[in-house]
Amino acid sequence: MNLKDILVISGMPGMYKYVSQGRHGMIVEGLADSKRFNVPVTAKVSALEDISVFTEDEDVPLAEVFRNIYRKEDGAASIPHKSPDLVLKDYFGQVLPSYDRGRVHVSDMRKIVSWYNTLQAQGLVDLEEPAAEGEATGEAADATAPAAEG
């Protein structure tokens, strides 16, 4: 699963695919509607590859959480992101038992489940493991970095 080109933009709902670099920013395409537009350089953009989830030990990359959901659901969609809080907490505990219950909020779980379901519907979720673990990924952002989906 290559999440490098899948982006979330602060203040904008949904996810976007990187298309190319533009004159005054980058050109992205909406995953839901396939519409292209320019994102200014001042916008806060996060690649899903750079997002991780807090656990009791070390942060877990979002791709690994998606793989856990994929395995649990046998490749199908997960529970709806608008499920009750207790249902989401229980589900997330099954997917990532060691998640930090003090720092991972229900809103983060909703975003992650929503992102997974969107990627799964687009056929972009699979069990492909990372190619090389030695690649420099920079500072990983936590699951609360992107704006909440609207």
CA neighbor of 32 nearest in space, from 48, 20, 16, 19: 16
Structure pTM? 0.80
pLDDT recorded at residue 135: 47
- What is the number of helices (H) and of strands (E) in the chain? 3, 8
Domain residues for the domain of 24 are 6-47
What crossing angle do the helices spanning 85-95 and 106-121 adopt, rounded to 10°?
Answer: 70
Q: Is position 13 within any domain?
A: yes
Distance in angstroms (rounded) separating the CA atoms of residues 117 and 79: 8
In this structure, are residues 117 and 77 in contact, taking their beta carbons and an 8 Å threshold? yes
* Structural domain total, the chain: 2
CATH of the domain at 65: 1.10.10.1650
Distances (CA, A) of 15 to 9, 40, 58, 149: 7, 16, 26, 9
Q: Is position 85 within any domain?
A: yes
Percent of the chain with pLDDT over 90: 65
- Chain segment 72-121, per-residue pLDDT in tens: 998 899 999 999 999 999 999 999 999 999 999 999 999 999 999 999 98
